[in-house]
Amino acid sequence: MALVSCLQRCVQLALLPVYVLVHLGLWDTVYKKVFPYIMARLASSYNRKVHRQKQELFSNLGQFVGPGGQLRLLEIGTGTGTNFQFYPAACRLTCTDPNPNFGQFLRKSLSENPHLCLERSLVAPGENLHQIAEGSVDVVVCTLVLCSVSSVESVLREVLRVLRRGGAFYFLEHVAADRSSWTYFWQKVCDPAWKCFGDGCSLSRETQKDLEKTKFSELNLRRVHVPLRWIPASPHIIGYAVK
Ligand SMILES: C[S@@+](CC[C@H](N)C(=O)[O-])C[C@H]1O[C@@H](n2cnc3c(N)ncnc32)[C@H](O)[C@@H]1O
């Protein structure tokens, strides 16, 4: 632990100008504008790596179609809209993201996926989805989002609230490695710095524990390894939980 703290300090020292901007409150303002461009650049290579897993994950979306005959799908932290290609035709989509600067990328993804019908796009954090009525959606999707939210517990509470009974929550998230591994050691060393460059993202979050604590009636969760070269974020969880 002492070695982790010492290395964290070294990284922080090397990034001193960034930390000054963070403390002056300037970093977030600028980075929120830049982050969507970074995501748009990185998303294609990441998504090539997880394409098969996503395809398999979303292949049973159809079984959650609600009484109206159309799938009402809410995506939290939609970002650039990398999951749109996996959603079924005529699905009624609501997108939410607290960062309004993703707009142009979202519109581009929508134009590339004309099979989708965007019903609403909200600028809102997953912790507070009050614009969405209780029990009004069939499926909620979150990919690479729970690592960045300020409270996983509050987001999952909102997910349970907006889902109809029998609806499902789909997730793909990078998580903490095994605590005895070198990957976990590097996750802890990089965490403070990565928070700045990953828009609040934590590398060592044990998100599966929050999912297990949430009162879903069924949890289908698998650990998978996504090969990532420069970031210690290869351990992922993937699956869906039913309300
Ligand atoms: C790494 S990106 C992933 C984007 C997209 N879900 C994907 O898989 O490509 C993280 C996303 O989470 C969003 N985000 C950050 N904090 C959030 C919060 N509290 N609630 C909802 N989304 C959040 C960010 O704005 C960003 O769009």
> Residue 28 belongs to what domain range?
2-242
Give the pLDDT of residue 28.
82
Q: How far apart are CA 192 and CA 12, in angstroms?
A: 8
Q: Is 221:239 a contact under the CB 8 Å cutoff?
A: yes
Ramachandran quadrant class, 166 (left: phi over 0; alpha: psi -120 to 50; beta: rest):
left
Average pLDDT, the chain: 93
Centre of ligand 1 to C-alpha 149, Å, is 8
| Count: domains in the chain | 1
Locus of tokens 């929120």: 32
Q: Whose CA is nearest to atom 16 of ligand 1?
A: 149
Confidence (pTM) = 0.94
Q: How far is the CA of 80 from the centre of ligand 1 (A)?
A: 9
For the cut 80, the answer to whether the pLDDT of residue 14 exceeds it is no
- How many whole angstroms separate alpha carbon 38 and alpha carbon 34? 7
Q: What is the CA radius of gyration of the chain?
A: 18
pLDDT band (50, 70, 90) for residue 242? very high
pLDDT digits (tens, 9 = 90+) for 177-220: 999 999 999 999 999 889 888 889 999 999 999 999 999 999 99
What's the CATH code of the domain at 170? 3.40.50.150
Ligand 1 pocket, residue 143 CB under 6 Å: yes
Q: How confident is the model at residue 26 (pLDDT cuts 50, 70, 90)?
A: confident
For 102-125, what is each residue's pLDDT tens digit?
Answer: 999 999 999 999 999 899 999 999
Work out which ligand 1 atom sits closest to the CA atom of 144.
3
Tell which one of 96, 97, 174 to mutate to probe ligand 1, the residue whose CB is within 8 A of the most ligand atoms: 97
Q: For ligand 1, atom 24, which residue shows the shortest CA distance?
A: 77
Q: Report residue 121 as tokens.
A: 């796009």
Give DSSP secondary structure letters for 149-164: SS-HHHHHHHHHHHEE
| Residue-level pLDDT at 9 | 80
